Chain A
Amino acid sequence: MAPILSVEGLSVGFLTDLGFRETVHEVSFSVERGKTLCIVGESGSGKSVVCQAILGILARNGRRTGGRVLFEGRDLCTFSEREMETIRGKGIGMVFQDPLGSLNPIHTVGRQLRETLILHTDLDERGRQRRAVELLRMVGIPEPERRLASYAHQFSGGMAQRVLIAMALACNPKLLIADEPTTALDVTIQAQILDLLNRLKTEIGMGILFITHDLGVVAEMADDVVVMRHGRQVEVGSIQDIFVRPQMAYTQELLASMPHLNRKAPIYRENA
């Protein structure tokens, strides 16, 4: 079966004070249905720029300089802005790092969920209300009817991220792009969100493109992994390839610098 998303030789550059500079160089990977591909890298490696380029939401001084982004076989780079608007939200759902900052503070969560449904579905008002309740229930928010009337500041970070996942999944997208979705959350809440994403992936059968700096999260989520550094892909492979048989020195270094839980802690000695 053809992959949902196939990125081929994608390059991106930005116009800066120093002139035009290419910052992402020939990145290629593909995301299969029902699978998770993780892009892992340190800050400045270009992992978020790749996902912005796929979604067509690069900063104004940035543009794609080469390659193709095939979503269900069609090249997104040839789409007009209007066509992209229907793809974002309907074909591809998005979740970002800062959940409370991603919600509009002056509208209720229900209104924001219904807005997505107005834009992308032909449900009537009652249908939208029903679907909104169903979505909040699906992401594990207690008392969904009541919570629809709440504002962003009345949610904790973990609950707000659930709302954003509900919004991203409102139109049953084929692909979910999640850019560091648990980085701002506590570990016990992160565990809840990762479990939720894995459950929904199986239920809905979508593909996930998951961006993170944390190899521990990669280990729990990924089927396939792309390691990036300085705008280039260093290594691509299955989870076993990357964790058991890493080929590149950088991947090995990255794995070695991860704090291991099976390492012994230091022992205190008087007057050490």
Chain B
Amino acid sequence: MQEPQRSGPLLQVTGLKRYFGSGHETSKHATIKAVEDVTFQLRAGETLGLVGESGCGKSTTGRMIVGLEQPTTGAIAFRGQDLSGLSAKEWRAKRRELQIVFQNPQSALDPRLSVRRQIREPLDLHRIGAPSEREAAVTELMEAVSLPHELGNRFPHEISGGQAQRVVIARALTLKPSLIVCDEPVSALDVSVQAKVVALLEELQARLGVSYLFISHDLRVVKMLSHRVAVMYLGQIVEEGLTDELYDEPLHPYTKALLSAIPDIAMALRRHDSRRIVLQGDPPSPAAPPAGCHFHTRCPFARERCRHEMPALRAIAGEGITHKARCHFAEELKVAS
């Protein structure tokens, strides 16, 4: 494995775009702009939460980073090396360092392989260590994710969803990656199991220094383990900041609405408190995003300028440089609220 570079981020994504259905001039289908100009970075041992509603492009972004999807344009630099130009063979080698965990653990596992074989498979494929050492490594990994030894010979259908997600995480860790893209890893699990899997991810990060790009629609879960958070809407990052900063003082109207829409257990005690901003309508189609600011059709504060001019993602006066928002009027709205 390469020595981590002391300077520069582990992952630097710049101007990433992914358009679907374009390229054929005769095609009648509209171009879907799934990801539009996404830029962010991730440091070693850091967790970046990528949140947004369905269709905002968060999963497509994650898939491009692990090479499951080709960017239309833009650069993905991992330890300073651009990944977008890699061949399939080069990608296979690179995947040791970049792993992904999906939402549905049962469908991510091979139904015909026992738990031990699933976890061992990456070692076999990459021919790492002698066969006897591989068995020892599997035992160690199972312990790391608190899977009981007896489960080793079971098959995916014989274990619970929470256990299956542990197997998937163990398998992702087999090759000692430095970055794991977690795409909704706990969304299919019950809350008590969710809490355990999140605690496991945090513990593994503290021990192994792995970075996570944590993709989720659930802002409550994201807050538990993300150092920083980026909010996406219609293919763009609309706000980015340190987690507490962003949750305590959201600058973009969409983030405000998203946060206030979370059903919170504190509401049991203060009912009839009309703090909620309920957005009207559905998100527009990414095939025909509105002109100007993409959010203006649902924004309660939209003005004339928002209809024509797309705002840039920028640092907001009076906030730290880490906190950015894509809104023309973020300063004014901050004073107003």
Contacts and interface: CB of A to CB of B under 8 A. Distances in A.
Interface of A: 42-43, 142, 156, 158-159, 186-192, 194-195, 213-220, 222, 239-240, 242-244, 253-255, 257-268, 270-272
A258 B43 CA distance: 29
A216 B217 contact: no
Contacts of B268: 218-220, 222, 239-240, 242-244
Interface in B188-233: 190-192, 194-195, 198, 202, 205-206, 209, 217-221, 223-228
Contacts of A257: 191-192, 194-195
Interface residues of B, number: 52
A213 B192 CA distance: 11
Contacts of B226: 265-266
B261 A191 contact: yes
A209 B271 CA distance: 19
Contacts of B281: 142
A41 to B, nearest CB: 9
A262 B259 CA distance: 12
Interface in B162-191: 190-191
Interface string B46-67: 1100000110000000000000
Given A186-B54, A263-B223, A268-B227, A244 B269 contact: yes
Given A42-B190, A265-B247, A243 B265 contact: yes
A214 B265 CA distance: 9
Nearest to A253: B192
Nearest to B298: A188
Interface of B: 43-47, 53-54, 190-192, 194-195, 198, 202, 205-206, 209, 217-221, 223-228, 242-244, 247, 257-269, 271, 276, 278-279, 281-283
B45 A188 contact: no
A266 B269 contact: no
B46 to A, nearest CB: 5
Contacts of B262: 187, 216, 261
Contacts of B224: 259, 263, 265
Nearest to A217: B263
A272 B45 contact: yes
A106 to B, nearest CB: 24
Contact of A261 (B225, B227, B264): B264
B225 A189 contact: no
B264 A267 contact: no
18 contacts: A142-B281, A188-B257, A190-B263, A191-B260, A215-B191, A216-B262, A219-B263, A219-B265, A220-B264, A220-B267, A240-B269, A257-B195, A258-B265, A259-B218, A261-B259, A266-B225, A268-B46, A272-B45
A257 B205 CA distance: 21
Residue picked from B205, B223, B242, B263, most chain A C-beta under 10 Å: B263
Given A159-B282, A219-B266, A267 B227 contact: yes
Contact of B191 (A159, A195, A213, A265): A213
Contact of B47 (A187, A195, A263, A266): A266
Given A191-B261, A257-B195, 10 more contacts: A188-B53, A188-B261, A195-B276, A214-B263, A216-B264, A243-B268, A244-B269, A265-B244, A266-B243, A272-B206
A88 B100 CA distance: 46
A272 B210 CA distance: 10
B217 A187 contact: yes
B79 to A, nearest CB: 16
